[in-house]
Structure 1
Amino acid sequence: MAEFWTEKRVVVSPDADTLTASVARRFLERVTSRLSEGKKAHIALTGGVIGTEVLRAIGADPAREGVDWSRVHFWWGDERFVPRESDERNERGAREALLSRIAVPEANIHTIASSDDGLTMEEAAEAYAAELARFAKGDTAWPSFDVCFLGVGPDAHIASLFPDRPEIQVRDRAVVPVRNSPKPPSERITLTRPVLNSSKRVWMVVSGVDKAGALGLALAGASYDSVPAAGAKGRKRTILFVDQDAAAKVPEELIDQEY
């Protein structure tokens, strides 16, 4: 019988709208708390429908006006290597949903190079690794994200780390190119597992019945190689915010009723 990772908390919302509003509220509370300690906050964003809707909910919440965004830095867990103005860019969705609605300095928005920036995919990955290294903390060559948002695909991929692909095994680089992705677009840039797992808090946001199987496997402690979401883990907290549809295969004992 599979062993469940009880240190992962699962928080269930009745539907997708309630889910995004709840995560937005918790995010603003988390960032406000961090800044109140006189520190900066580094946030890793994700793309996808539900990830972008969370950002939209943050951008619509009046509490955003009370945040000193000049001390918040935004990064991306992965990006599609397409032209800068393509609607497929995670950056484009994040700017429209949130970044254009808050007073964050452009210097605090750390984007991954696009296909029309004149760099190869390898050069784009190296450039992003160098940018991460500028904010390195401790013995790692990157910042520890205060919150790392991750979506989970029906195949259990996170960022652009797909099942049974070599990128999952990379430990000696912070950023790698991904070619022939099983999900279009085929060319991507992604953070590696060591960077994601050095985050203080990993927040996976999962919506829809098509994600239920992947979520169940992730909670069962399946192999990270075949179920990348199973290996995502923050240093302080790992929380899966899910809606009722996605929670269909989550054991009752893993659902946190209090958080």
Structure 2
Amino acid sequence: MVDTIEDISSKGHTAKTGYVLVLSDPNAQADYLASFIMHQAERKKEGTITIALSGGSTPKRLYELLGSENYAHRIPWHRIHLFFGDERMVPYTNEASNFYMVKKALLEHITIPFRNVHPMPILEDVAQAAQLYEQELKSVYHVDRLQVGKPFFDIVLLGLGEDGHTASLFPKSPVLKEKQKWVSWSEPVDAPYKRMTLTYPIIASSRFVIFVVSGKNKAQIFREVREGKKEYPSVAVRTEGEVHWIIDKAVSGE
């Protein structure tokens, strides 16, 4: 009987096999995802709704929409807990910060309890910061070990880099081999800043993993990840729930 998240490695849904939905453009992607999030909140009648947020321009459109009049007062923010999939080790006031982007696009426009927003801590010692964030996750989960049938996240939003990375799981980074920690860090070879990131095990503990990808420049890497012929970090994403790809026509080649 499967009872721990580690057992998902050969049985869960993957980035290669997930459902693909093609929409016209990033605005249509944002519309779809806003409706999806609201629908999931309506379906889950009890308890909290946990969402891991992604950086990027397309998710930013989503957050702006969720903070608009059409959604801000229709979503039960008091039941939603917002986490982050990754973060650059820069101050929260820095425009490179994912938290800064989410704050400006969403948090300043909704009424959400302070305790429901969980930014990644910013410390000079990024390994210590990762430990602190993992402790925070465990305090929310109430168990120190991830369990199948008890997903931590309702929704994990992920992007896709042209090098095949997702969150801050970059190619050739030691974090890709992490099997136990829920949170770790990386230092990209060709991108600035040390990064904190969720790891494969905690991403696997989710009801929905949703890749949000747009732009013609992502078409080739999307195809290669779906084919699974190369060991890109995104290829290794698995979940006990469902994997959805929400892409635009430019990515699909239509």
For this structure pair, what is the TM-score category when the shorter chain's length is used for normalisation? 0.7 to 0.9
Q: Residues 129, 86 of structure 1: CA spacing in aligned structure 2 closer, same or farther, 3 A cutoff?
A: same
Shift of 1:183: 4.4
Match of residue 43 from structure 1: 51
Confirm whether residue 94 of structure 1 aligns to residue 99 of structure 2. Answer: no
Between the two structures, name the one with larger relative contact order (CA 8 Å, sep ≥ 6): 2
Going from structure 1 to structure 2, the CA distance change for 1:184 and 1:242 (only over 3 Å counts) comes to: same
Are 1:201 and 2:208 matched, yes or no? yes
Answer yes or no: is 1:33 the counterpart of 2:39.
Answer: no
Aligned to 1:192: 199
Q: 1:74 pairs with 63, 82, 102, which one?
A: 82
1:182 deviates by 3.1
- Go from structure 1 to structure 2 and tell me whether the alpha carbon gap of 1:110 and 1:7 turns closer, same or farther (over 3 Å shift): same
Within 1, Cα distance between the matches of 2:86 and 2:105? 17
**One-letter amino acid of the structure 2 residue matched with residue 144 of structure 1:** F
Structure 1 stretches of 5 or more lacking a match? 250-259
- CA separation in 2, counterparts of 1:19 and 1:215? 16
Q: How does 1:1-259 map to 2 (within 5 A)?
A: 7-34=17-44, 37-60=45-68, 62-115=70-123, 119-136=124-141, 139-140=145-146, 144-179=152-187, 181-223=188-230, 226-248=231-253
Amino acid at match of 1:106: F
CA shift, 1:45, in A, is 0.3
Partner of 2:9: none
How many pairs does the alignment contain? Answer: 238
In the aligned structure 1, how far is the partner of 2:206 from the partner of 2:142? 11
- TM-score, normalised to structure 2, is 0.87
Runs of 4+ in 1 over 3 A off after TM superposition: 4-7
The offset of 1:190, in angstroms, is 0.7
Where structure 2 has 5 or more consecutive residues not aligned to the other structure, the ranges are 1-13
TM-score, normalising length from structure 1? 0.85
CA shift in 2, pair 1:222/1:19, >3 Å: same
Q: Once the two structures are superposed, what CA deviation does each residue of 1:82-105 show, in whole Å capped at 9, x if it has no partner?
A: 122100000010111112211111
**1:101–1:5 distance in 2 versus 1, CA, 3 Å:** closer
Q: How far 1:143 moved relative to its partner? A: 6.2
